[in-house]
Amino acid sequence: MLTDHFRPQSFNGIDDIVIVGGGLAGLFCALKLAPRPVTILAAAPIGHGASSAWAQGGIAAAMNTGDTFEKHVADTVAAGAGIVDEKMTRMMVAEGPARIHDLLEYGVPFDRDLEGKLLLSREAAHSERRIVRVKGDMAGKAIMEALIAAVRSTPSIRVIEGYVVEELVREGRFISGVVARPDAGQSKTRVSFPARAVVLCSGGLGHLYAVTTNPWEACGQGVGMAARAGAIIADPEFVQFHPTAINIGKDPAPLATEALRGDGAILVNSKGHRFMLDIHADGELAPRDVVSRGVFAEVKAGRGAFLDCTKAIGTHFPEMFPTVYASCMAAGIDPVTQPIPVAPAVHYHMGGVLTDGEGRTSIDGLWAAGEVTSTGVHGANRLASNSLLEAVVFAARIAENIKGTLPAPKLTEWGDNAGESDDPVTVEDSPPFKRLRGLMSECVGVVRTRESLLHAIREIAELERVNTRLRFSNIITTAKLIAVAALQRTESRGGHFRADCPTERPEWQRRTYLTLAQAERLAAEAIETEPA
């Protein structure tokens, strides 16, 4: 459908810049490009299909007395397990406070103390209190609501909702537009949107896995589309699992924010033993990959894992963490008096489309921001609440780069359709996609082995052979890139853990760069070398 914000009389069916995705990065970039004509293509109504709106923790920025950019950079580098791009990180951290003030100007009601100063909290692996939050656990929702209101009131921004972008159009060295499917991807008619600049802000890939905190729209299509167009993909093997998804059988799984542990909540098993102190000196505030493996081990051993907030939060739970409280109560759990059952769930992808400091990809005409990218600032393991910071910082830098590279709008006519296709109306509910999700969780999940990864690659090849629909091809391309990169990295580092190679190896202290052609060659070689 077209929203009320779609004003054909203002644009006459023409485009200068197309932004793919209506999450934080896409909306922020569009606002920073104003008054330049911009079209946002969103698969779902903006605010409903983006992981940004589900973010509970907040945004990390060094703004507290005693905190410094150097401390924030050091924490990010430490969490990233040796492969963080320090130059990119330093730039991101330095621009963080300015982007927080931008968000304040757009109306985001960040928490303040009695003196009116921003109220800052601490999360895992941060050495200082630097997380800017809204009502404890509602940062993502509040930020998105404010940006949506700003976008709706900006005449230069056209929002077209319910359009699933399926293909990047490449002409020679350049991306020259996109092809999208209306009616939330269910239409058989596809629409082409030529553009001088395409900004890919399509989100992450959590829904590639059976247990995830991400909405179904986050199924890796953006990475797959870019790879199929020839873009370089970086660090795809590094998938971050959130250690404390609420384990009540829901898909997606509700999240018990890390801020709970930051405020003193502890992890125990069914016997009441606080197991994280046996694993890491920082206990519950250890890096997420460490905590995820600790929780995973307890669940696999049959002891279960529970987040006990009864002493640290207690009766203050409903007002301090209303989102988590509502999820628990809906499942019959009162977190004021009862421990919350938890399990690891795919939460964030550190890898993605390789970009530089201006958000440019390896293909001319294509920029990218947000979780679909790999800027290098997260390394092998994202530091908590750096994701929203990365999204706004690089979205703003993209806007500035496009203004400098293409100083004057050059509007392009767009066609009514790009032909018809027999794609199924809903790929996401199809048996092949469900099979793929189970495969990724079982074989390319919290703990991996060479055997499990080879099995995944063989199964992916078979799924590709019998399912050739375009949208599914984008999704399974991303799965293939993750599995192949994980097979190649014969060590454990950050979010990538190999039970058969459980330690870090110095020769692997480097990032992964992979094209689809290279991944396909490596997958074929692996299958030929070790057939099932």
Q: What span, in angstroms and rounded, lies between the C-alpha atoms of 310 and 329? A: 14
Residue whose entry in the numeric block shows the structure tokens 């485009």? 15
* Cβ atoms within 10 Å, residue 251: 11
pTM for this predicted structure: 0.90
pLDDT of residue 9: 30
pLDDT of residue 76: 96
CB-based contacts of 524, cutoff 8 Å, min separation 6: none
For 370, left (φ over 0), alpha (ψ -120 to 50), or beta?
left
- Contact of 511 with 232, CB cutoff 8 Å: no
Which comes out higher in pLDDT, residue 94 or 186? 94
Tokens of 190: 């596809």
In the chain, what percentage of residues exceed pLDDT 70? 91
Q: Which residue has the higher pLDDT, 412 or 198?
A: 198
Class of domain 241-346 (CATH, top level): alpha beta
Q: Catalytic site residues?
A: 288
Segment among 11-25, 286-300, 397-411, 510-524 with least mean pLDDT: 11-25
3-state class of 325 per DSSP? helix
Ranges of CATH 3.90.700.10 domains, the chain? 241-346
What residues contact residue 242 under an 8 Å CB cut-off, 6+ apart? 213, 255, 258, 288, 292, 344, 345, 346, 347, 348
- The superfamily CATH assigns to domain 15-237+350-404 is FAD/NAD(P)-binding domain (3.50.50.60)
The confidence score (pLDDT) of residue 425 equals 46
Q: How far apart are CA 494 and CA 496, in angstroms?
A: 5
Burial class (CB in 10 A: 0-12, 13-18, 19+), 28: buried
Every domain range in the chain assigned CATH 1.20.58.100: 426-529
- Span 229-278, pLDDT tens digits: 999 999 999 999 999 999 999 999 998 988 899 899 999 999 999 999 99
Is the CB of residue 198 less than 8 Å from the CB of residue 425?
A: no
69, two tokens: 């950019």
What the block records as the tokens of 306 is 């529970």
Q: What is the pLDDT of residue 412?
A: 59
| One-letter amino acid for residue 79 of the chain | A
**How much of the chain exceeds pLDDT 90, in percent?**
77
State the CATH class of domain 426-529: mainly alpha
Helix (H) or strand (E) holding 118: none
Q: Provide CATH 3.50.50.60 ranges for the chain.
A: 15-237+350-404
What mean pLDDT comes out for the span 54-78? 91
- What is the pLDDT at residue 8? 31
CB contact set of 260 (below 8 Å; sequence gap of 6+): 244, 307, 309, 312, 313, 321, 324
